[in-house]
């Protein structure tokens, strides 16, 4: 194992310092591997510096937002690093979002620039640059030397997450926030320079940048970026690159386990598999371990973290149903409606903030708030901790259990879906009197989306018409698997739709 200097936690973490450690230690080692090639740490530093210069030439200033909708490859990592070197703010825009969803994000964050793989998109951005033009600009730019000084505690990324209103809200994080999870993992010995990470999920999601390339840089390891996530492609990536670690949604692990042409030898190097984003049955974890030799560990993560707050450690017995213990730099509390601690074993809201004592005191910093939503930010961050909205409990051994994730959240194949998003689209159709969207359990995906619709009086509407409406306005993973028509909805005493009864109807 390579002997590298320890990470300095006495000051806020910044990309230039962490990157400098890697370039000084392993300049010729492969940093990124993607569909378009390989970059060593020295080459990645050079290309990221050129990207920053290209942004400067496009008029991007420190603090400007840069929206990025690029596929999984080296370019999207270089873009994030170039944006940070320039002192600007990365805003990931998932490539699979429907045009109205992209337009909403662009309209909300008001970027100075939009980088996209689809030049035909009309998102009303002040300046749009497609992937070919971006690559040309980066190649022809002179590297910035020295790199501009950037405040590591200023907003450096906006990660959009949906809410119960149905409108996405942008979680603001600093460079320090985004680098800290990886730095702590390296400090704890979870990863080192011998590891090879495989990034499977979209890097337009900030949490995936945090868990993969940003952690890799600090571990002086290698990050392979999968451009496809079908089982055979992933098995080839793992075998070819000697992948030791991936963090995937349960659907990906399930598909690897059940595909007849994926063999144990293909995954022989995979010693640190992790699953997250949705529940994975314990029986499936055990089957994965039996077939491939390593049991996937799970965790509790959320956009407001960013990413990990608690996780199972491979060196400890994994307890079924638990998501592990809080990470050492994060203090997790379970609070009641009055923000008072609840006794061990009782259910309350999961809240988290910096450690107040010990070696990690004050190292963690909460999210900076929600972009353009000061009142919601203050409410979520009251008392100096993040109020997650998730319900959970601790056991006497300090293991954290999630009882209910944000009440109405549907998690389909690791993708978070809020019913309000779909209900907003369906409810806008005059043929729909009322609607209610719930999740139905599914062995492979965890949950699928089912929409119950009460048509307007005297109006006929076909399920396919409503599904077409959803396809035009929502990402494909949010489109209901089934439309069910009802004459009337069950009601609560206050006259609201009794969602729990509708849930029973979906499962019946």
The model's pLDDT over 321-337, given as tens digits with 9 standing for 90+, comes to 788 999 999 999 999 98
Q: Compute the average pLDDT of residues 60-70.
A: 97
pLDDT tens-digit profile of 98-142? 898 899 999 999 999 999 998 888 777 779 999 999 999 999 999
- Per domain, the residue ranges of the chain are 314-407, 410-507
With both helix axes pointing from N to C terminus, report the angle between 131-140 and 41-57 in degrees, rounded to the nearest 10. Answer: 100
Angle between helices 463-473 and 419-427 (to 10 degrees): 120
Predicted local distance difference test score (pLDDT) of residue 452: 96
Strands, E, within 363-477: which ranges?
A: 369-370, 386-394, 400-404, 410-412, 415-417, 432-442, 446-455
Q: Is the pLDDT of residue 53 over 80?
A: yes
Give 365's pLDDT tier (boundaries 50, 70, 90): very high
The token duo for 248 is 């995937």
Looking at domain 410-507, what is its CATH homologous superfamily?
A: ANL, C-terminal domain (3.30.300.30)
173 pLDDT higher than 60: yes
The pLDDT of residue 218: 97
pLDDT at 372: 96
Tens-digit pLDDT profile for residues 216-230: 999 999 999 999 989
The percent of residues above 70 in pLDDT, for the chain, comes to 95
Q: In whole angstroms, what separates CA 439 from the centre of its chain?
A: 20
Beta bridge partners of 247: 274
pLDDT band with cut points at 50, 70 and 90 for residue 278: low
Residue 351 forms beta bridges with which residues? 333, 387
pLDDT of residue 496: 64
Summarize pLDDT for 424-474 with one digit per residue, the tens: 899 888 899 888 999 998 888 889 999 999 998 888 999 999 999 999 999
Angle between helices 231-241 and 250-258 (to 10 degrees): 90
Q: Which residue has the higher pLDDT, 223 or 251?
A: 223
What's the chain's average pLDDT?
A: 91
Give the CA diameter of the chain.
74
* SS3 labels along 284-353: HHHHHHHHHCCCCECEEEECCCCEEEEECCCCCCCCCCCCCEECCCEEEEEECCCCCECCCCCCEEEEEE
Per-residue model confidence (pLDDT) at position 407: 60
Q: Which CATH number fits domain 314-407: 2.30.38.10, 3.20.20.70, 1.20.272.10, 3.40.50.920?
A: 2.30.38.10
- Within 141-281, residue ranges assigned H as helices are 175-187, 206-209, 215-219, 231-241, 250-258
Predicted pLDDT at 1: 46
Secondary structure of 431-456 in HEC code, one letter for each residue:
CEEEEEEEEEEECCCEEEEEEEEEEC
Q: What is the mean pLDDT of residues 479-498?
A: 81
pTM for the whole thing?
0.85
């Amino acid at each position: 194992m390579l002997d590298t200097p320890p990470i300095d936690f006495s000051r806020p973490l910044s990309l230039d310092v962490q990157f400098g450690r890697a370039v000084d230690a392993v300049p010729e080692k492969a940093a990124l591997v993607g569909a378009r090639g390989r970059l060593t740490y020295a080459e990645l530093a050079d290309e990221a510096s050129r990207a920053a210069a290209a942004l400067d030439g496009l008029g991007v200033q420190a603090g400007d937002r840069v929206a990025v909708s690029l596929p999984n490859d080296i370019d999207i990592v270089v873009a994030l690093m170039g944006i940070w070197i320039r002192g600007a703010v990365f805003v990931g825009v998932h490539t699979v979002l429907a045009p109205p969803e992209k337009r909403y994000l662009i309209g909300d964050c008001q970027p100075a620039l939009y980088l996209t793989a689809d030049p035909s998109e009309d998102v009303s951005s002040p300046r749009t640059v497609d992937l070919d033009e971006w690559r040309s600009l980066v190649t022809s730019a002179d590297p910035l030397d020295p790199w501009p000084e950037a405040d590591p505690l200023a907003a450096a990324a906006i990660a959009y997450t949906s809410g119960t209103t149905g409108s996405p809200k942008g979680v603001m994080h600093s460079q320090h926030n985004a680098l800290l999870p990886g730095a702590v993992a390296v400090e704890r010995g979870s990863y080192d320079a011998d590891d090879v990470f495989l990034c499977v999920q979209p890097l337009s999601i900030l949490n995936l940048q945090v868990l993969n390339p940003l952690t890799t840089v600090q571990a002086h390891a290698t990050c392979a970026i999968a451009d496809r996530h079908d089982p055979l492609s992933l098995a080839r990536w793992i075998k070819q690159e000697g992948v030791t670690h991936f963090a995937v949604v349960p659907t990906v692990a399930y598909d690897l386990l059940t595909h007849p042409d994926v063999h144990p030898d293909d995954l022989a190097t995979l010693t640190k598999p992790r699953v997250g984003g949705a529940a994975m049955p314990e029986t499936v974890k055990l089957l994965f371990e039996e077939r491939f030799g390593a049991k996937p560990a799970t965790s509790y993560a959320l956009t407001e973290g960013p990413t990990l707050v608690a996780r199972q450690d491979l060196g400890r017995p994994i307890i079924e149903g638990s998501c592990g213990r809080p990470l050492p730099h994060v203090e997790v509390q379970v609070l009641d409606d009055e923000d008072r601690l609840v006794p061990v074993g009782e259910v309350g809201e999961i809240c988290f903030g910096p450690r107040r004592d010990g070696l990690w005191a004050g190292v963690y910093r909460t999210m900076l708030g929600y972009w353009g939503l000061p009142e919601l930010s203050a409410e979520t961050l009251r008392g100096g901790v993040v109020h997650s909205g998730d319900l959970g409990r601790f056991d006497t051994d300090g293991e954290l259990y999630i009882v209910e994730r944000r009440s109405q959240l549907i998690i389909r194949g690791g993708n978070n879906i809020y019913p309000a998003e779909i209900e907003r689209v369906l409810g806008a159709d005059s043929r729909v009197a009322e609607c209610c969207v719930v999740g139905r359990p599914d062995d492979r995906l965890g949950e699928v989306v089912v929409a119950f619709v009460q048509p307007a009086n005297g109006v006929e509407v076909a399920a396919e018409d409503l599904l077409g409406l959803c396809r035009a306005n929502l990402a494909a993973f949010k489109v209901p698997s089934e439309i069910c028509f009802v004459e009337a909805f069950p009601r609560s005493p206050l006259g609201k739709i009794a969602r729990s009864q509708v849930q029973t109807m979906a499962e019946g």
